[in-house]
Structure 1
Amino acid sequence: MSRLLRSLAGRVTLLTTIAVGLAVAFVAAGAFVTVRVQMQSTLDNSLLDRAQQAARTSALSQLSTRLEIPSWMLGAGDIRVAFVYPDGKVMTPDQGPRLYIGEPEFEVAQRERRFSIRTIGAGGTDYRVVSVPVATPGQALVVAQSLEPQKQVLARLGVVMLLFGLLGVAAAGAAGWAVARNGLRPVRRLTTDVEAIARTEDLTPIRVEGDDEVARLAAAFNEMLTALAASRDRQRQLVADAGHELRTPLTSLRTNIELLTQADTQADTPGAAALPEGARAELLDDVRAQIEELTTLIGDLMELSRDEPAAHLVAPVDLAEVVDQALSRVRRRAPGLVFDTEVEPHEVVGDSAALERAVTNLLDNAAKWSPPGGTVTVRLVDGVLTVDDEGPGIAEEDRGHVFDRFWRADESRGMPGSGLGLSIVRQVADRHAGRVDVAESPAGGARLVLTLPAGVPTPGGPTGPPPTWIPGGRP
């Protein structure tokens, strides 16, 4: 039983059966009470009519002295009669169980009441008793009829209702089970499909049938499968691209280390040619540069591969200060460039480290593409950071890909970098409810525009970006 109730079909069947059972019980009880009341009312009206007709008969005064009343006078032979006299005496013409006449009947005999109707017991049998006054003052006619026939009818009616009620409940249970199984068939099919997907990891969309709630659930599953497949494809592409990008610096690093090892070995061998000091210093510089490139690449990969960013200190940040700090770092790396800057204070709520990294990546990208002695223009106005360079610019067909991971234009294949810098900029912008766009600068180079909404701290904590904003930053 407990196993059955664990299934949705079993619970639906049980609830249907209980609901129908309660409905049948209420209907049966109402019908039984209605029939009982109607039978009682019919019996009372019949007895009262008989008694009143008998009381109006002229021969009643003579018959009452002899206590012989023919059954035709009262309309039937299934009743008992009695007379109530002024002195309180009660006489009955039959030899049945004694009828206990009480105060209501004496009040009718004394003309204090027009009539009385009540139920009394006599000899273990219930009687419905009606009393009416007769023509002789101080006397009343009492007519009583047994309630046993009525009880038998009600008992048979109760048995019939009980049987039909049980049959109705059983039929409702069977119908509920059939409806639950048929109605839940799409749910079982959907469950089977989802279990197959979990077992085989085949993310093929589920077939959707109809337009009901189950179809909407299947469509929602398909949307989830599409998102999951896209996430898995991105992960695979990230691993493949990361392996490709790591292969080149690792190969070069291994080659340089082997050359240094071989040179040290030859230096210990008498008569062997030693590696010139200039070549050795050049190899060591290459090793350091490759290690730095690997460190940067691994940090970028860790930043981009994280689905949920780690929690960081989120606080009001002056974007102008972030731009100044980033400019100081980039100026040291590109001493031959001119940086034309004009920044205005603009407060945002977010992670200052992540914002500084994004701004630094924008400036590094402009410095990399600018010619020697070129000018990089930096403007921060109303929360919009614009970085212009004087390089070759970005072709119109390539602008939709510059923020993709590991994407590089054909002309940048031989240049240093991993192709992850602008991807990190877009990620930081998204996590701060902003956006980053690419266009053409007035000098013909590339223009990158980072837009961040302002945020105003409140006593309950920093606010500003919408609720969907997730803080992010470097690990």
Structure 2
Amino acid sequence: MTPLQRWWERKGFHYRRSLASRVALLTTLILGVSVAFIAATAFVVMRMQIQSSLDQSLLNRATKAASYPALAEMTAQEVPGWMLGAADVRVAFVDSGGNVLTADTGPAVQLGRPEMRVAEGRSRESIRTITAAGGVRYRVAAVPSGQRAALVLLQPMADTDRTLRKLSVVLLLFSGAGVVIAAIGGWAVARNGLRPVRRLTRSVEQIARTQDLRPMPVEGADEIARLTTAFNQMLMALSVSRDRERRLIADAGHELRTPLTSLRTNIDLLTQAGDGLPAEARAELLDDVRGQLEELSTLVGDLVELARDEHLTHAITEVDLADVVERALARVRRRALTATFDVSLEPWTVRGEAGALERAVTNLLDNAVKWSPEGGTVTVALREGVLTVDDEGPGIDEADLPHVFDRFYRSDDSRSMPGSGLGLAIVQQAAERHAGAVRADRAPGGGARLVMWVPGVAGPVASTT
């Protein structure tokens, strides 16, 4: 955050910038830096090229001039360079002793060690830039001339500097224009490129306002289309969840109405009759009230269990499914005194919540006992993680098979029997929470067969000691 942004926040304002402006700003910065780098590179290359051409021309002229011995004599006779056809340069001679001979006038120039080395014969040539009195810059080239002497040509840099200044101004103007064009182009690209995002945002805001969960239209096959598809999948899941919630509430209300009505009727009878009600009738009414309370408690417990639609998060241990089935059988046997159980279990270790698994197995057994005739046999088998429960009842109609695990679903034959229609739904939920599955089928003997599978490994739970 920049200092301006921090100051803005301290003053209580919120610094916001749209995505389009950020994209445009980033594009402008990148293109601006690129244009500036290209302009700087072009300026440096042009300056080096101009200076290289100037140096080569100056050295060539100095070499040619040094081949004429008369030039030194004319310079000694104070003949200026412009009379010799060198109007744009100053001509000077320097010997190894540092003595300078020149006939040209102009700002004083201090020749130095590079030119002395050429005069002494230790360098073939030298070229450099020096600044004379008054800030006048010269490009100085020195080549050997005779014995222990050097010819020095001094080229003023004014024209070259002027050319470079004009070049820098031109490059600066073009760079500025390039940055402006980049900003306009970046903003246009950002606005057009983010138009689908804005359209998607408006659609989502419309859905949030109206609660209309219909899918949004998908255009194209780019990332925005994939995002729209993901939103549609989320809307579909939300719609299914909302419909399931409404159906659960409606079905729960319908199921709760019957026991509540019966309770109210029985309580009204007890209140109106008072002490005049025979003891036998009073006991019958109280038993009826107690049974309705148990039915209501079971229904509420089933609803609470189904409301736990979260993944397994606690009490996760390694459990032998055979032990879970044994505990569930012991519980059901205490309630179903007339039923016979044919049990065949193999150890099968699963990782999960023992309580949820036992509740699911208990519901399977209770369902089999409920549909079996008095004195009937319930067959229970556990092999390779597949728990099969067969009863000797009338079986399940083909039309009811796809719906037996639905919440509150009750076939026509079961409406007169006790139960809330939630037991098998709890079985399915427990199996799915343990990455398993359930299915309903017909048993070989004609009754119903309910199958639950939970992934695991063969054998009992490994000892931790």
Q: TM-score range by the shorter chain?
A: over 0.9
- Distance across 2 between alignment mates of 1:85 and 1:364: 123
From 7, 15, 34, the equivalent of 2:26 is: 15
Unaligned runs of 5+ in 2: 6-13
- Distance across 1 between alignment mates of 2:242 and 2:81: 103
From 269, 285, 307, the equivalent of 1:283 is: 285
- Distance across 2 between alignment mates of 1:156 and 1:339: 105
From 47, 62, 67, the equivalent of 2:73 is: 62
TM-score (norm 2): 0.92
Q: Give the 3-state SS of the residue equivalent to 1:106 in structure 2.
A: helix
From 32, 37, 40, the equivalent of 1:26 is: 37
Alignment partner, residue 206 of structure 1:
216
Q: Is the 8 A contact 2:81 2:90 kept in 1?
A: no
With 287-296 and 341-350 compared, the bigger mean Cα shift is at: 341-350
Alignment partner, residue 239 of structure 1:
249
- Distance across 2 between alignment mates of 1:250 and 1:206: 44
Alpha carbons of 1:87 and 1:432: their partners in 2 closer, same or farther (altered >3 Å)? closer
Q: Give the 3-state SS of the residue equivalent to 2:399 in structure 1.
A: helix
From 133, 136, 139, the equivalent of 1:125 is: 136
Displacement of 1:361 = 0.4
Q: Give the 3-state SS of the residue equivalent to 1:128 in structure 2.
A: strand
Q: Is the 8 A contact 2:62 2:152 kept in 1?
A: yes
Alpha carbons of 1:294 and 1:372: their partners in 2 closer, same or farther (altered >3 Å)? same
Displacement of 1:140 = 1.8
Alignment partner, residue 266 of structure 2:
256
Name the amino acid aligned to 1:389: D
Counterpart check, 1:425 vs 2:415: no
From 239, 243, 249, the equivalent of 1:229 is: 239
CA RMSD of aligned residues (A): 2.0
Q: Give the 3-state SS of the residue equivalent to 2:93 in structure 1.
A: strand
- Distance across 1 between alignment mates of 2:265 and 2:421: 24
Q: Is the 8 A contact 1:4 1:10 kept in 2?
A: no
Q: Is the 8 A contact 2:320 2:461 kept in 1?
A: no
Q: Is the 8 A contact 1:203 1:225 kept in 2?
A: yes
Unaligned runs of 5+ in 1: 268-273, 462-475
Alpha carbons of 1:4 and 1:285: their partners in 2 closer, same or farther (altered >3 Å)? closer
Displacement of 1:418 = 0.6
Counterpart check, 1:219 vs 2:229: yes
Equivalences for 1:51-90 in 2 at 5 Å? 51-71=62-82, 73=84, 76-85=86-95, 87-90=97-100
Alpha carbons of 1:293 and 1:139: their partners in 2 closer, same or farther (altered >3 Å)? same
Q: Is the 8 A contact 2:140 2:155 kept in 1?
A: yes
Displacement of 1:72 = 6.9
Q: Give the 3-state SS of the residue equivalent to 2:90 in structure 1.
A: strand
Name the amino acid aligned to 1:436: V
Displacement of 1:67 = 2.8
- Distance across 2 between alignment mates of 1:313 and 1:396: 38
Name the amino acid aligned to 1:370: S
Q: Is the 8 A contact 1:110 1:138 kept in 2?
A: yes
With 285-294 and 156-165 compared, the bigger mean Cα shift is at: 156-165
Displacement of 1:86 = 5.0
Displacement of 1:303 = 1.1
Q: Give the 3-state SS of the residue equivalent to 1:449 in structure 2.
A: strand
Alignment partner, residue 180 of structure 2:
170
Name the amino acid aligned to 1:127: Y
Give CA-to-partner distance per residue, 1:175-221, whole Å, 9 cap, x none.
Answer: 11111111111101111111111111111111211111111111110
Q: Give the 3-state SS of the residue equivalent to 1:203 in structure 2.
A: coil
Displacement of 1:70 = 4.9
With 118-127 and 102-111 compared, the bigger mean Cα shift is at: 102-111
- Distance across 2 between alignment mates of 1:449 and 1:303: 21
- Distance across 1 between alignment mates of 2:239 and 2:289: 39
Displacement of 1:458 = 9.4
Q: Is the 8 A contact 1:349 1:457 kept in 2?
A: no
Name the amino acid aligned to 2:17: R
Alignment partner, residue 326 of structure 2:
324
With 227-236 and 79-88 compared, the bigger mean Cα shift is at: 79-88
Displacement of 1:76 = 3.8
Q: Is the 8 A contact 2:341 2:377 kept in 1?
A: yes
- Distance across 1 between alignment mates of 2:392 and 2:138: 117
Equivalences for 1:394-433 in 2 at 5 Å? 394-433=396-435
With 305-314 and 117-126 compared, the bigger mean Cα shift is at: 305-314
Alignment partner, residue 368 of structure 1:
370
Alpha carbons of 1:362 and 1:171: their partners in 2 closer, same or farther (altered >3 Å)? same
Percent of paired sites with the same residue: 60
Q: Which runs of 4+ in 1 moved over 6 A?
A: 1-4, 456-459
With 104-113 and 206-215 compared, the bigger mean Cα shift is at: 104-113
- Distance across 1 between alignment mates of 2:448 and 2:268: 41
- Distance across 1 between alignment mates of 2:95 and 2:289: 136
Equivalences for 1:137-156 in 2 at 5 Å? 137-156=147-166
Displacement of 1:128 = 0.6
- Distance across 1 between alignment mates of 2:311 and 2:385: 24
Alignment partner, residue 345 of structure 1:
347
Q: Is the 8 A contact 1:337 1:373 kept in 2?
A: yes
Give CA-to-partner distance per residue, 1:271-310, whole Å, 9 cap, x none.
Answer: xxx3222222111111100000000001101111233268
